[in-house]
């Protein structure tokens, strides 16, 4: 039986591993259910363990690299992990080992990767490419010489033909030698035609040999590339099979099984499409921590992940802030690994249950202005949460067209325009596209601004953060322009009994007004939270900040023209906070 790839699996469970660290659990109540990893408020024990990790990283001089770290509180202490590699290595015994160490220089992966790399060098550099280039150069030279010879022969023929035609026209056919002259002219014509044929055949043997050599080299190159492709894909599949994950029930599955069944019943196999597994899947903190705990028979109690070190360019993550596990790489893995654990419910569901009633501020035959409660979707989505489109069709059964002219995030409350006819929808849409609709939002930001009354502009391009969808991120290469004007209103204290706001006295916050000049997804939320923006997340932002009683963001004012009359309309609805 092959030796287990995970170091902790080879360890005698009676040994105390170097990556199991003591933790004073007597100071805090042990959680009754395990952390829901995709949205959570860090347990106090996780905060304590995270502080120990941060101190260790600083003491070891590892903090120059910004990275996600994670802690898993277990019975008897805590485990720590980092995402991917740390300082280009997995050799950090203070942290849990990787699920599979493919960096082992003596392992199959690195040896096969070296051979594939050597094949790539031969393909791309001095091997095939230089030979093909040399043959191609000589072939093009001979073809060019032949073409010049043919052109020269054709020009000689055309000149001779013109001369012969002139001589034929001037010939007196009654002369005794007229017939002989005509035969001589015909022989000259045949000779010059033969010269063209001979020119076309010039270098024929050499050209044919070069063409055959070129075909041979190209076929060798094709076979080499095909070999490289097959070996690369085989190595990748082999690697995915080495990444095996356990759950609390003692079951194991590989990455291939978790992202799509390996057998013919898989969707990828049925459609003929190759299964796509995100790069870095299985190397995030949470899978490493849980795999190690299960392998050592440790009972997981609570888990948290946080960023430490400098922020990456365009990223919203900041040192010391806790973030949920990612969706694209971790959700398929963790959904399996959490089986058998008593996991707390999604703590953000209270946002969706906040609900409330839709308030109709104004309406006529063409449109309506309503106040969307926090927790409502603008249009139908997953999970069956209430939405304005269904509400509008119930309230006004005769309306037509798409109805919802613009959108607010589910957690955002405030004014929205609903169109009752297709014509109204089209005219209102044109106003939004032309940026003629003026909007004002009010928000509470985490922390307090030292100076009030300040105003400014944020211009940061936004693009989807595919690992953490539906999040967006600042991306100066692929992002779309997003511009927000802001005005600081003042500082205040907020009493909120959910998440980070627990405790007497509440939290210090800043009230701010936003005037978005563009309408990108999560524009205000990213501009507020990003280090390149205000670096102050909106209170209660479950995607870019921390949970609270609600998202403290409200669409407070709208200015636009009536789609039928052209009348200027202004609506205000004071924020409920």
The four Cα atoms 298, 304, 305, 309 give a dihedral, to 10 degrees, of: -100
CA 421 – CA 401 distance, rounded (Å): 6
Both tokens assigned to 506: 């509440």
Say if residue 457 is exposed, middle or buried (CB neighbours under 10 Å; 0-12, 13-18, 19+).
exposed
CA 26 – CA 22 distance, rounded (Å): 12
Both tokens assigned to 211: 């063409």
Axis-axis angle for helices 204-242, 128-170 (nearest 10):
150
DSSP assignment of 124-171: HSTTHHHHHHHHHHHHHHHHHHHHHHHHHHHHHHHHHHHHHHHHHHH-
Using only C-alpha atoms, the chain has a radius of gyration, in whole angstroms, of 36
Q: Could you give the residue numbers annotated as active site?
A: 409
Say if residue 97 is exposed, middle or buried (CB neighbours under 10 Å; 0-12, 13-18, 19+).
buried
Q: How many CA atoms does the CB half-sphere of 281 hold within 13 Å?
A: 27
The number of residues making up the chain comes to 577
Of 380, 360, 517, 526, residue with least CA distance to 443: 526
């Amino acid at each position: 039986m092959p030796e287990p790839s995970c170091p902790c699996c080879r360890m005698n469970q009676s040994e105390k591993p170097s990556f199991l660290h003591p933790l004073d659990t007597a100071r805090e109540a042990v959680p009754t259910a395990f952390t829901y990893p995709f949205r959570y408020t860090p347990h106090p024990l996780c905060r304590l363990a995270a502080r120990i990790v941060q101190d260790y990283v600083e003491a070891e001089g590892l903090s120059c690299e910004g990275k996600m770290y994670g802690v898993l509180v277990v019975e008897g202490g805590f485990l720590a992990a980092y995402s991917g590699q740390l300082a280009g290595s997995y050799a950090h015994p203070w942290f849990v080992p990787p699920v599979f160490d493919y960096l082992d220089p003596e392992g199959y992966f690195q040896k096969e990767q070296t051979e594939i790399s050597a094949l790539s060098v031969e393909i791309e550099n001095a091997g095939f490419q230089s030979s093909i280039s040399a043959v191609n150069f000589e072939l093009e030279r001979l073809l060019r010489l032949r073409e010049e010879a043919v052109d020269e022969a054709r020009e000689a023929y055309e000149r001779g033909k013109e001369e012969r035609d002139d001589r034929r026209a001037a010939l007196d056919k009654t002369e005794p030698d007229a017939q002989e002259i005509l035969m001589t002219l015909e022989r000259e014509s045949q000779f010059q035609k033969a010269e063209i044929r001979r020119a076309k055949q010039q270098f024929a043997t050499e050209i044919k040999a070069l063409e055959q050599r070129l075909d041979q080299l190209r076929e060798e190159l094709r076979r080499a590339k095909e070999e490289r492709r097959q070996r690369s894909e085989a190595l990748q599949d082999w690697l995915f099979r080495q990444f095996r994950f356990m759950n609390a029930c003692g079951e194991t599955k590989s990455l291939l099984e978790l992202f799509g069944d390996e057998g013919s019943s898989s969707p990828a196999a049925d459609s003929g499409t190759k299964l796509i597994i995100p790069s870095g899947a299985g190397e995030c903190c949470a899978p490493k921590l849980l795999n190690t705990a299960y392998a050592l028979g440790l009972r997981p109690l609570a888990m948290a992940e946080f960023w430490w070190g400098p922020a990456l360019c365009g990223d919203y993550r900041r040192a010391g802030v806790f973030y949920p596990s990612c969706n694209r790489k971790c959700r398929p893995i963790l959904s399996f690994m959490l089986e058998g654990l008593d996991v707390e419910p999604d703590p953000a569901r209270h946002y969706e249950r906040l609900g409330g009633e839709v308030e109709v501020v104004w309406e006529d035959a063409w449109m309506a202005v309503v106040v969307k409660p926090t927790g409502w979707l603008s249009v139908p989505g997953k999970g069956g949460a209430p939405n304005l489109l269904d509400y509008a069709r119930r309230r006004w059964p005769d309306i037509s067209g798409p109805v919802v002219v613009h959108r607010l995030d589910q957690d955002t409350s405030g004014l929205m325009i609903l169109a009752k006819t297709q014509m109204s929808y089209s005219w209102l849409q044109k106003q939004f596209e032309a940026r003629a609709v003026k909007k004002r939002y009010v928000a509470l930001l985490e922390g307090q601004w030292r100076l009030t009354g300040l105003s400014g502009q944020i211009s940061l391009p936004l693009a989807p953060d595919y690992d953490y969808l539906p999040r967006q991120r600042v991306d100066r290469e692929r992002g779309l322009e997003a511009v927000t004007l802001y005005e600081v209103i003042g500082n205040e204290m907020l009493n909120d009994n959910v998440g980070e706001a627990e405790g007497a006295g509440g939290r210090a916050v800043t009230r701010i007004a936003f005037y978005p000049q563009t309408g990108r997804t999560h524009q205000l939320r990213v501009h507020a939270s990003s280090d390149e923006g205000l670096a102050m997340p909106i209170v209660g932002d479950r995607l870019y900040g921390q949970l609270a009683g609600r998202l403290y963001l409200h669409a407070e004012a709208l200015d636009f023209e009536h789609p039928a009359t052209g009348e200027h309309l202004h609506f205000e609805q004071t924020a409920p906070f």
